[in-house]
A = this chain, B = another copy of it.
Amino acid sequence: MRAWEKNIRRVEPYVPGEQPDSPKMIKLNTNENPYPPAPGVQAACRDFDAESLRLYPDPSCRELAHELAACYGLEDGQIFVGVGSDDVLAMAFLTFFNSDRPVLFPDITYSFYDVWADLFRIPFERPALDEEFRIRKEDYYRENGGIIFPNPNAPTSLFLPLKDVEDIVAHNQDSVVIIDEAYVDFAEESALPLLKKYENLLVVQTFSKSRSMAGMRIGFACGSPRLIQAMKDVKESYNSYTMNRTSLRLGVQAVRDKAYFRETVERIIRTREKAKERMASLGFIFPDSQANFLFVHHPEKDAGEIFSKLKEREIYVRHWDRPRISGWLRITIGTEDQMERLYEALEEILKEK
């Protein structure tokens, strides 16, 4: 080994959901939206002035921030925009979690939280979800250097009622509390209205799920002007230009078309509710999802086996060989047709000896 190789950072390679590319496949493994982005997005693409690409983009993302602020009844200075919610969340860790006390997040949750904490040398502790995968709010009533959890949680799909979210925020007014709402548009309500009361609350959302733009990498945080300005200062201190001109332009169009947004979200929720009936009748058990996926377990069939047999049929779902969840599968809600093919395949697989 050469001397310089000793100084290469050691990491655990992340294994993202497979990105197979076959015309016949049914891809229910990365929680993408089965419907295309709003029609205005396609038009904005067609009419985009490529000459403008010679110039740097607006580092403060003013136009997109303004559109989002208007959409959610906030001020422009309450919005921070980033390259997907991963970028926004990592920036929030870097900006707010600079205490010697541990940051708290659940033992079963989004897999990047501990990675960012390690990256930025932030101590953390992971209170366990209860036996039914619920967050126990009392676990978060103790000294800490910050709190973060997704709502709905991933991959469990469970939503923590807003009054419990508020209890956690109210008990932690000395910490920044981040609610990662990647899936909230499929759930009963967002924590955004709490921003009026709590200056230490940050709500993070994404265009990747409900807005059908996973391929565009747009995420955003909403919070008090004090929190948002701090994130902007940190971001601009070391990388000014991250959002490119196409993201900014097409993102605006995605926010503007509110009717299309509601229609596709409602369609996915209807398909999900029907999926609950069908999966139950196939013998699966699952938490009562408020996300665009189900997290399912079958008492009589090994999850790894179901995963492999679905894959043989070019149906891709997600399985983790990890403590507490190795018996479970995460299945994204697709179109009605895709879901019908899933049920047929599962029926066959469950009949096999």
Contact = CB atoms under 8 A, between A and B. Distances in A.
A72 interface: no
Contact of A215 (B52, B95, B97, B238): B52
B86 A116 contact: no
Contact of A234 (B9, B95, B238): B9
A213 B56 CA distance: 8
**How many identical chains are in the complex?**
2
Nearest to A247: B244
Interface in A62-105: 83-84, 86-87, 90, 94-99
A304 interface: no
A271 interface: no
Contact of A238 (B99, B119, B176, B244): B119
Interface stretch (A12-20, A283-291, A336-344): A12-20
Interface residues on A, range: 35 or more
A13 B237 contact: yes
Interface string A232-243: 011011111111
A245 to B, nearest CB: 4
A174 interface: yes
B32 A51 contact: no
Interface in A169-204: 173-176, 199-200
A240 to B, nearest CB: 5
Contact of A236 (B13, B52, B84): B13
A50 B45 contact: yes
B53 A4 contact: no
A326 interface: no
A197 to B, nearest CB: 14
Interface stretch (A36-44, A123-131, A149-157, A293-301): A36-44
A96 B8 contact: yes
A93 to B, nearest CB: 10
Contacts of A230: 8-9
Contacts of A27: 55
A55 B213 CA distance: 7
A233 B3 contact: no
11 contacts: A7-B176, A9-B234, A12-B237, A30-B56, A32-B56, A35-B54, A45-B48, A50-B250, A56-B208, A56-B214, A115-B238
